[in-house]
C-alpha cells in the first residue's frame, strides 16, 4: 500500500488529488515541513532533501511530486489518469516536465512571494519577473488547449492534473487569467473535480 508523506497544505496536495481520483487505498502521514518534521532522521532516510511530498509503495521510494503522480497514474490509473494510447501517454510525460521546468519556477515563485512572505519583505522586481515568465507559459498552455479540450486528448489525465495543480498557484496569487480564456475554462473544470474538492477540505482541516 502507498504511504504518502506531507501535510495536505503543501505540494503533497497534488498527490492526494491523484490518489483520490483513482480511489487507491493509501496511508497519509501529514508531516509538516514548517514544523521541522521533515528534518528528522526517520524522514531523511526517505528523502535526504528533507522535503515533502514523498511516497513509499512496497520497495518503491519516491520524491518529486509531479514524478510521483506519473508513477501513481502509470501503476494504478491505466485507462484513467494514464491514457490507453501512446500519443496520450507521451503528452503526460511532456506536460509533466513542462509543468516542472516552464511553469512551476515562476508560479511557485509568485506563491512564495505573495502568499508566504510578509508584505514588507517582498521583492517587487522578482514578482514582476515571475509574471513575465508566467505569461509566456500561459501562451503555450492556451495554444495547446485550442487544439484539444485536455492536454493529452479528449479526457482528463495526469497531464491535466499536474499542470492545473501548478497553474492554481497563479489563480491563488490573483494573476489575471482573462487573456487566456482556454486556460481559464480548463483550469476551472480541473479544479472543480470532486477529488480536488476533497483535498481542498483536507487542506482546511490540517
Ligand atoms: N520539487 C519538489 C519540491 C518539494 C518542496 O519544496 N516541498 C516543500 C513543501 S511544498 C518542502 O518540503 N520544503 C521544506 C524545505 O525546503 O526544507 C517537489 O515537487 O516535490
Statement to judge: residues 71 and 19 lie in one domain:
yes
The per-residue b/e assignment along 83-120, b for 16 or more CB within 10 angstroms, e otherwise, is: beeeebbebbeebbebbbebbbebbbbbbbbbeeeeee
Q: How far is the CA of 49 from the centre of ligand 1 (A)?
A: 8
Q: What is the pLDDT of residue 148?
A: 98
63 and 153 part of one domain: no
Q: Does 50 share its domain with 135?
A: no
Among 80, 101, 131, which residue terminates a domain?
Answer: 80
SS3 201: helix
The total number of structural domains in the chain stands at 2
Please tell me the residue having the least CA distance from ligand 1 atom 2: 64
Q: How far is the CA of 196 from the centre of ligand 1 (A)?
A: 20
Examine the domain organization and report whether 63 and 110 are in the same domain.
no
| 64 and 139 together in one domain | no
Say whether both 134 and 101 belong to one domain.
Answer: yes
Question: What is the residue range of 74's domain?
Answer: 2-80
99 within 8 A of 93, measured Cβ to Cβ: no
Q: Find cell 528534518 and name the residue.
A: 39
Q: How far is the CA of 35 from the centre of ligand 1 (A)?
A: 13
174 lies in some domain: yes
Where residue 96 sits, what CATH number does that domain have?
1.20.1050.10
Domain boundary among 80, 100, 129: 80
Indicate which CATH number applies to the domain containing 15.
Answer: 3.40.30.10
Q: Are residues 142 and 183 in the same domain?
A: yes
User: What per-residue confidence (pLDDT) applies to 46?
Assistant: 97
What is the 38 CA–ligand 1 centroid distance (Å)?
A: 10
Cross-sheet strand order for the sheet of 26-29: 26-29, 2-5, 54-57, 60-63
CA gap 135, 145 in Å, rounded: 15
Whether residue 121 is found in the same domain as residue 149? yes
Backbone dihedral angles phi then psi of residue 187, each to the nearest 5 degrees: -65, -45
Flag whether 112 is in a domain.
yes
Specify if 160 maps to a domain.
Answer: yes
Q: Which residues form the pocket of ligand 1, taking CB atoms under 6 Å from any ligand atom?
A: 10-11, 33, 38, 50-53, 63-66
Residues 54, 18 share a domain: yes
pLDDT of residue 206: 75
Residue 146 falls inside a structural domain: yes
User: Is 76 in the same domain as 90?
Assistant: no
Q: Does residue 133 sit in the same domain as residue 116?
A: yes
Single pTM value for the model: 0.98
d(CA 204, CA 206): 6
Question: Domain for residue 55, yes or no?
Answer: yes
Q: Are residues 54 and 124 in the same domain?
A: no
- Listed residues 80, 110, 126: the one ending a domain: 80
For the chain (206 residues), the mean pLDDT of every run of 10, in chain order, is 98 98 98 97 97 98 98 98 98 98 98 96 97 98 98 98 98 97 98 98 91
Amino acid at each position: 500500500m502507498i504511504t504518502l508523506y506531507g501535510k495536505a497544505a503543501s505540494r503533497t496536495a497534488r498527490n492526494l488529488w491523484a490518489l483520490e481520483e483513482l480511489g487507491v487505498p493509501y496511508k497519509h502521514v501529514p508531516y509538516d515541513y514548517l514544523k521541522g518534521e521533515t528534518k528528522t532522521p526517520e524522514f531523511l532516510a526517505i528523502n535526504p532533501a528533507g522535503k515533502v511530498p514523498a511516497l513509499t509503495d512496497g520497495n518503491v521510494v519516491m520524491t518529486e511530486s509531479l514524478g510521483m503522480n506519473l508513477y501513481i497514474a502509470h501503476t494504478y490509473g491505466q485507462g484513467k489518469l494514464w491514457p490507453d494510447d501512446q500519443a496520450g501517454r507521451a503528452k503526460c510525460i511532456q506536460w509533466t516536465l513542462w509543468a516542472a521546468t516552464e511553469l512551476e519556477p515562476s508560479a511557485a515563485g509568485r506563491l512564495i512571494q505573495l502568499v508566504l512572505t510578509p508584505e514588507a519583505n517582498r521583492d517587487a522586481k522578482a514578482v514582476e519577473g515571475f509574471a513575465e515568465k508566467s505569461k509566456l507559459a500561459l501562451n503555450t498552455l492556451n495554444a495547446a488547449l485550442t487544439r484539444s479540450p485536455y492536454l493529452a486528448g479528449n479526457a482528463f489525465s495526469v497531464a491535466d492534473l499536474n499542470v492545473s495543480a501548478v497553474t492554481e498557484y497563479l489563480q491563488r496569487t490573483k494573476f489575471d487569467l482573462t487573456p487566456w480564456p482556454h486556460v481559464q475554462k480548463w483550469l476551472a473544470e480541473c479544479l472543480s473535480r470532486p477529488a480536488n474538492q476533497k483535498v481542498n477540505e483536507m487542506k482546511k482541516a490540517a
